[in-house]
Amino acid sequence: MSSNSGTGDAHTNQVLGGYKATLKNDNASEEAKQHAREVLDEHGASAEPLPQSRKNPNPDPERVKAGYKATLNNPNTSDEAKQKAQEVLEKSD
């Protein structure tokens, strides 16, 4: 995993995210899960989500709305997610 021109970090994060997903996938073999654990360990990445104490209990409402607006404009977002985002934005007005 190279890190040329700044895109390497993003690519590495995506790859590590895939290994984390493997650990949660019921259809993944135990061998695949073990390999995913090893790769995550090599990169110092944890398969565990952030503890609740690390999450912001009071997110900025404007930033939250901006995230929902971005969801509406993201071509990779499902129609279901866009509908949910639209509902949340309508309720916040």
pTM of the model: 0.45
| 5: alpha, beta or left? (left if phi > 0; alpha if psi -120 to 50) | left
Q: Rounded distance, CA 66 to CA 56, Å?
A: 16
Extended strands (E) in 1-93: none
pLDDT in tens, 65-90: 999 999 999 998 899 999 999 999 99
Tens of pLDDT, residue by residue over 14-67, are 999 999 999 989 999 999 999 999 999 998 887 776 565 566 778 888 999 999
Instruction: Please tell me the predicted confidence (pLDDT) of residue 82.
Output: 93
Region class of 56: left (phi > 0), else alpha (psi between -120 and 50), else beta: beta
